[in-house]
Amino acid sequence: MARPSIKEYLASNPGKVLVLDGGQGTELENRGIDVANPVWSTVPFISDSFWSDQSSKDRQIVKGMFNDFLAAGAEILMTTTYQTSFKSVSENTPIKTVEEYNVLLNHIVQFSRDCIGEEKFLIGCIGPWGAHVCAEFNGDYGEHPEKIDYYNYFKPQLDNFFQNDNLDLIAFETIPNIHELRAILSWDESILSKPFYIGLSVHENGLLRDGSTMIDVAELIKSIGDKINPNLLLLGINCVSFNHSADIMESIHKQLPNMPLIAYPNSGEVYDTVKKIWLPNSHPTFTWDAVVKRYIEAGARIIGGCCRTSPDDIKQITNAVKKYSNN
Ligand SMILES: C[S+](C)CC[C@H](N)C(=O)O
Ligand SMILES: N[C@@H](CCS)C(=O)O
Ligand SMILES: [Zn+2]
C-alpha cells in the first residue's frame, strides 16, 4: 500500500498537521447538484447513470470537487457519505437490501479513492444518528435519547467501512448529543476495529447542541480511562461556527490536554432544516490564518472546513498550516 497507517503516521510525525478537505455537500450544491433531499449529498450516487455513464455530469462535478480540494492542498479527504446510512438510503431511495447498499458504498469509496489517488488518506464519513431527522444542529433526539439503538443505526455502514482497505480513518461527524457520544465511546475494538475520530457539533455558546458542557464531555471520556478504544485517534469539532471555533477548541484542549484534536468549522452561516438552505449569520471576524494558529496551539492534528467552505478556504488553511506547524 502506498500509504502508511494513519495511526502510525500521526504518532511518528508529532509536528505534522494534516490539511483536510472542505464542505463537500455544500460544494456539490455550489456546483449545481440539488442536495435538498432526504439523503442530502448522497443524491448523485443514487442514479444509475452516475456509475454507467463515465461522462455523466454529476460524475464530473464530484471529480472536479475532489480535484480542486487536492489542488488547494488537502492531504486527507472524505467520502461523500454523510447521509448514506442504511436507514436514510433504504427509506428514501430504490436501494432496499443490505446487499445493494454494500454495492453502493463500495462504489462510492472506490470512486473517491480513484479521484484522490493512492497517496492521500481517505476518511469514511458517517453522519450522526440525527442527520436523518435533521437534528445535528439542535441535538434534539427526542424524549429518550439514551434508549436509541445507535449501534443498529450505524452497523451496516460500519460493517462496510471497517472492511474496506481504501479507507484509512472513519469519521463520526457532527455528533450533537451526549448519549450518542457515550454509545460510540462504549464500542470496543471488536466493533470499531480501525482508526476513527469523533467530530462534535457544538453551539456558538460553547455547549454541545444538546446542552451538555465540554466538562461533561471530558468527564465522560475520563470516566472510561484506559478502557478507551485505542482506535480513537482524535476528538474535535465540525460544522461549528467559524467565529466561535477557536474558543471551542481551546475549551476542549483545556479539559483534555493530551487528546489530539481535529477542527473543521463551517462558514458561520446557519442551516434552515426545513427549507434546506443556508442563512446568513455573523460575518467572519477572524482569518483562517488566525484560527488555524489557535487550533494548532490547542493540539489540532487535522484541520479543514465543513459546510459552506470551499477550495479557496482550504488554500488559506494550507498556507496557515505551513506557517504554524512543523510539517
Ligand atoms: C450538515 S447538514 C447541512 C446535512 C443535511 C441535513 N441533515 C438534512 O437532511 O437536510
Ligand atoms: N462531511 C460532510 C459534513 C456535513 S456536516 C460534508 O462535508 O458535506
Ligand atoms: Zn457541515
- CATH number, residue 67: 3.20.20.330
The rounded mean pLDDT for the chain is: 97
Nearest to 70 by CA among 121, 130, 11, 136: 121
The ipTM of this complex is 0.98
Q: What's the CA gap between 15 and 192, in Å, rounded?
A: 27
Q: Does residue 134 line the site of ligand 1, with CB under 6 A?
A: yes
Helices 242-255 and 288-297: angle between axes, nearest 10 degrees: 10
**Hey, is 262 helix, strand or coil?**
strand
Does residue 27 lie in a domain region?
yes
What stretch of H or E contains 289? helix 288-297
Whether the pLDDT of residue 1 is over 70: the answer is no
CB 39 within 8 A of CB 88: yes
Lining ligand 2 with CB less than 6 A are: 23-25, 41, 78, 82, 125, 173-174, 239, 306-307
Residue 28 beta carbon below 6 angstroms from any ligand 1 atom: no
Q: Is residue 17 part of a domain?
A: yes
The verdict on the CB of residue 43 being under 6 Å from ligand 1 is: no
- Name the pairing type of β-strands 277-279 and 270-272: antiparallel
Per-residue pLDDT, averaged over 144-153, amounts to: 98
Q: What's the one-letter identity of residue 108? A: I
Q: How far apart are CA 232 and CA 193, in angstroms?
A: 10
What is the distance between the alpha carbons of residues 197 and 195, in angstroms, rounded to a whole number? 7
Amino acid letter, residue 57: K
Q: Rounded to the nearest whole angstrom, what is the distance from the C-alpha of residue 266 to the centroid of ligand 1?
A: 13
Confidence of residue 276 (pLDDT cuts 50, 70, 90): very high
197, part of any domain: yes
pLDDT above 90: percentage of residues in the chain: 98
Which residue range forms the structural domain that includes residue 94? 6-324
Q: Residue 305 to residues 76, 94, 213, 234, 317: CA-CA distances in angstroms?
A: 12, 32, 23, 16, 9
Region 84-108: what's the mean pLDDT?
98
Domain membership flag for residue 1:
no
pLDDT (mean) for 12-24: 98
Task: Give Cβ neighbours of residue 163 (< 8 Å, ≥ 6 apart).
Answer: none
Number of domains forming the structure of the chain: 1
Q: Please count the helices (runs of H) and the strands (runs of E) in the chain.
A: 13, 10
Residue 33 lies in a domain: yes
User: Which pLDDT belongs to residue 282?
Assistant: 87
Does some domain include residue 217? yes
**pLDDT, tens digit, for every residue of 287-317?**
999 999 999 999 999 999 999 999 999 999 9
278 lines ligand 1 (CB under 6 A): no
Q: Please tell me the predicted confidence (pLDDT) of residue 327.
A: 80
Q: What's the mean pLDDT in 48-58?
A: 97
3-class DSSP state of 293: helix
Q: Which residues are documented as binding site for Zn(2+)?
A: 239, 306-307
Task: Decide if 61 is inside a domain.
Answer: yes
| Residue 81 within a domain | yes
Cell of 279: 442563512
